[in-house]
Homo-oligomer: A and B are copies of this chain.
Amino acid sequence: MVMKSSFAYLFDGLNESQMEKISRIGKEIPMQKGQQIFKEGQEANGVYVVRKGAVELMTMVEEIFELPISILRNPGDVFGSSALVPPYRYSLSARCAAEGSLFCIETPELRKLASEDREIGCQIMTNLAAHFLDRLKETRQEVKIHFKMLLSSTRS
C-alpha cells in the first residue's frame, strides 16, 4: 500500500480507501541520474510522485538555455500534473538529479478512476487548481522582482 503521507498536495483530502484505489493504478519505476523523465511540450501521459532521489524541473529559454524552475527532493513531491488538464502536455521538462525511484500514475487510468468516483475527481481537481494558483502567485512574485530591478535601474 502507498502511504498517504508520501503523497503531496494532489491527494490531500482523500481517505484511506480512495488512496488504495490510487495506489492500485500506479507503478514504481527506478530513475538514474541525468535521465530525462519528460520534455516540455511533450504529450503528457503520466503524473509522477518522488519516492526517493531528486528531480529537477526546467523550462526552455529560446531553445538554447534551460532555466531551472525547482528541484524536488522530498518523498511525496508531485510533478507532471499538467498531464491532468487540457491540452494534456507537460509545461516543463523533468530530469533526474539524484538516483532514486518514482511512483508513476498513468493519466488515462487516473481519469477513468476520477470519472467513476466523482469524489476523487473533484478533490484532485480542487487540489490541482489550488496548486497551480500557488505556483502562479510565486511566479508573479518573480515578475515583480524583475520589475522592481528595472524600476531601480531606471531611477539610477
Contact = CB atoms under 8 A, between A and B. Distances in A.
A59 interface: yes
Interface size band for A: 35 or more
Given A91-B136, A136-B91, A137-B91, A85 B147 contact: no
A118 B114 CA distance: 11
- How would you classify the secondary structure of chain A's contact residues: helix, strand, loop or mixed? helix
Given A61-B147, A136-B91, A143-B142, A118 B122 contact: yes
- Assembly stoichiometry (copies): 2
A67 interface: yes
B59 A140 contact: yes
Given A139-B136, A143-B139, A130 B59 contact: no
A136 B132 contact: yes
Interface string A95-108: 00000000000000
B144 A61 contact: yes
Interface of A: 59, 61-62, 65, 67, 69, 82, 84-86, 91, 114, 118-119, 121-122, 125-126, 128-130, 132-133, 135-137, 139-140, 142-144, 146-148, 150-151
Given A67-B147, A146-B146, 5 more contacts: A91-B136, A118-B118, A118-B121, A121-B122, A129-B132
